[in-house]
Amino acid sequence: MTTTMKSLISSIAAASILIFTGCGENKKEEKTIVEKQADATGQFVLKFSHVVSSNTPKGKAADFFEQRLEELSKGRIDVQIYPSSQLYKDNAVLKAIKLDSVQMAAPSFSKFGKIVPQLALFDLPFLFKDMDHLHRVQDGAVGEKLKGMVTAKGYVALNFWDNHFKQLSSSKKPLIKPEDAVGQKFRIMSSKVLEAQFHAVGANPQMMPFSEVYSGLQQGVIDGQENTNSNIFTKKFHEVQKYLTVTNHGYLGYLVVMSQKFWDKLPADLQANVKQAINDATVKEREYAEELNTKQFNEIKAYAKKTGNLEIINLTAEQKDAWRQAVSKIYPDFYDNDKIGEELIKGALATE
Ligand code: LMR
């Protein structure tokens, strides 16, 4: 749908709310009448909230999804994308989805910590050999089991989306050996696994919403952070760091979820359109993840060369192995089924 049509429809909806508020009707009545009007036009509004920039794998795939679903539904679903934490920060979006205040999101796995902590499987450092191995895990029995856990909590679990492998950065000291991290303050997402990962190397993990990382680094509240090249570049973290080490130590990805209430309201043909649009967007998303992480890493390298303000460190196989040894010893701490579960961890490792 064109932006003009979208704004026309929003104005009509806003005017309806104003009229009813003006008449002194109570909130409940207002809402029922506005909802009925939406039903009468046969139009559904689907708000999709995320925290990253539009020029990231998730941001581009969300935009692709918007276009595809509006085309497939012939405008009966109006998709509205809210990037860069405009609507909700980090895990706050999951509560909002439960209430149907927003209909869709693709939070990273750590952000499901209070709902399905087992999704932190994907945060375990050095668990996946490469992206193909990771996709086989997501597309196989382990992925299905995890989605089932999210469904059981009252969400519609759609597809897994990628960002990529994470890198480490610091403003304090080059990170070459695990001991270099000792005492440094690293921002982490809210995740027990990430907390354990940094404790394993004697560092000091600090939980912080994604939207606050840049200022945290700039003001020295934290010394360093871990994220993908795409997130580092689009949020300019590299401009407030002195050292970036290519570790690829952990994976960052997402589960796309939808409000169950919203899903139940949709007629079967529109549910089929949503499924088709999300499947098409997922194929594109994996391509964007590869393309953008490569391209944006090149941009970071160009910045480092031009300004001389950032040192990029490539580890030797031996150095990388030392990090692997230091952090992968945390796996058994998560064997308990309430944490992640031995079966899931071993299942992922054994996936061919
Ligand atoms: C983060 O908080 O670092 C990421 O989850 C942001 C994102 O959604 O990629």
pLDDT at res. 53: 97
Kindly give the number of the ligand 1 atom that is closest to the alpha carbon of 90.
2
Please report which confidence band the pLDDT of residue 2 belongs to, taking 50, 70 and 90 as the band edges: very low
Select from 49, 50, 52, 110 the residue to mutate for testing ligand 1; criterion: most ligand atoms less than 8 Å from CB: 52
Kindly give the number of the ligand 1 atom that is closest to the alpha carbon of 227.
3
Compute the distance between CA of residue 304 and CA of residue 243 in angstroms, rounded to an integer. 10
Q: Express as a percent the part of the chain with pLDDT over 90.
A: 87
Selected residue with higher pLDDT from 66 and 22: 66
For ligand 1, atom 1, name the residue with the nearest CA: 210
Q: For residue 252, give both structure tokens.
A: 């960052």
- Mean pLDDT for all residues in the chain: 91
Kindly give the number of the ligand 1 atom that is closest to the alpha carbon of 110.
5
pLDDT at res. 90: 85
Nearest by Cα to 191 from 257, 234, 140, 251:
251
Parse the chain into domains and list their residue ranges.
42-350
Pocket of ligand 1 (CB under 6 A): 51-52, 108, 163, 189, 210, 227, 231, 252
What's the gap in Å between 37 CA and the centre of ligand 1? Answer: 37
Check whether 308 has a pLDDT greater than 50.
yes
Q: What's the whole-number mean pLDDT along residues 40-60?
A: 94
Please report which confidence band the pLDDT of residue 12 belongs to, taking 50, 70 and 90 as the band edges: very low
Q: What's the whole-number mean pLDDT along residues 8-14?
A: 41
What's the gap in Å between 50 CA and the centre of ligand 1? Answer: 9
Q: What angle do CA 274, 278, 280 make, to 5 degrees?
A: 120
Please report which confidence band the pLDDT of residue 91 belongs to, taking 50, 70 and 90 as the band edges: confident
Q: What's the whole-number mean pLDDT along residues 125-150?
A: 97
Place of tokens 């509560």: 95
What's the gap in Å between 75 CA and the centre of ligand 1? Answer: 30
Check whether 18 has a pLDDT greater than 50.
no
For ligand 1, atom 3, name the residue with the nearest CA: 210
pLDDT at res. 187: 98
What's the gap in Å between 63 CA and the centre of ligand 1? Answer: 17
Q: What's the whole-number mean pLDDT along residues 234-242?
A: 98
Nearest by Cα to 37 from 6, 14, 7:
14
Check whether 16 has a pLDDT greater than 60.
no
For ligand 1, atom 2, name the residue with the nearest CA: 210
The three-state DSSP-derived secondary structure of the chain is CCHHHHHHHHHHHHHHHHHHHHCCCCHHHHHHHHHHHHHHHCCEEEEEECCCCCCCHHHHHHHHHHHHHHHHCCCCEEEEEECCCCCCCCCHHHHHHHCCCCCEECCEHHHHCCCCHHHHHHHCCCCCCCHHHHHHHHHCHHHHHHHHHHHHCCEEEEEEEEEEEEEEEECCCCCCCHHHHCCCEEEECCCHHHHHHHHHCCCEEEECCHHHHHHHHHCCCCCEEEEEHHHHHHCCHHHHCCEEEECCCCEEEEEEEEEHHHHHHCCHHHHHHHHHHHHHHHHHHHHHHHHHHHHHHHHHHHHHHHHCCCEEEECCHHHHHHHHHHHHCCHHHHCCCCCCCHHHHHHHHHCC
Select from 161, 189, 194, 208 the residue to mutate for testing ligand 1; criterion: most ligand atoms less than 8 Å from CB: 189
pTM here?
Answer: 0.89
Please report which confidence band the pLDDT of residue 206 belongs to, taking 50, 70 and 90 as the band edges: very high
What's the gap in Å between 204 CA and the centre of ligand 1? Answer: 19
Select from 227, 235, 236, 254 the residue to mutate for testing ligand 1; criterion: most ligand atoms less than 8 Å from CB: 227
**Phi, psi of 175, deg, nearest 5:** -100, 95
Q: Express as a percent the part of the chain with pLDDT over 70.
A: 89
pLDDT at res. 329: 97
What's the gap in Å between 52 CA and the centre of ligand 1? Answer: 7
What's the gap in Å between 231 CA and the centre of ligand 1? Answer: 7
Select from 231, 232, 292 the residue to mutate for testing ligand 1; criterion: most ligand atoms less than 8 Å from CB: 231
Check whether 130 has a pLDDT greater than 70.
yes
Check whether 23 has a pLDDT greater than 50.
no
Check whether 24 has a pLDDT greater than 90.
no
Kindly give the number of the ligand 1 atom that is closest to the alpha carbon of 210.
2
Check whether 266 has a pLDDT greater than 50.
yes
What's the gap in Å between 289 CA and the centre of ligand 1? Answer: 14
- Topology given in CATH for the domain delimited by 42-350: D-Maltodextrin-Binding Protein; domain 2 (3.40.190)
Give the pairing type, strands 104-105 and 251-259: antiparallel
pLDDT at res. 42: 80
pLDDT at res. 39: 53
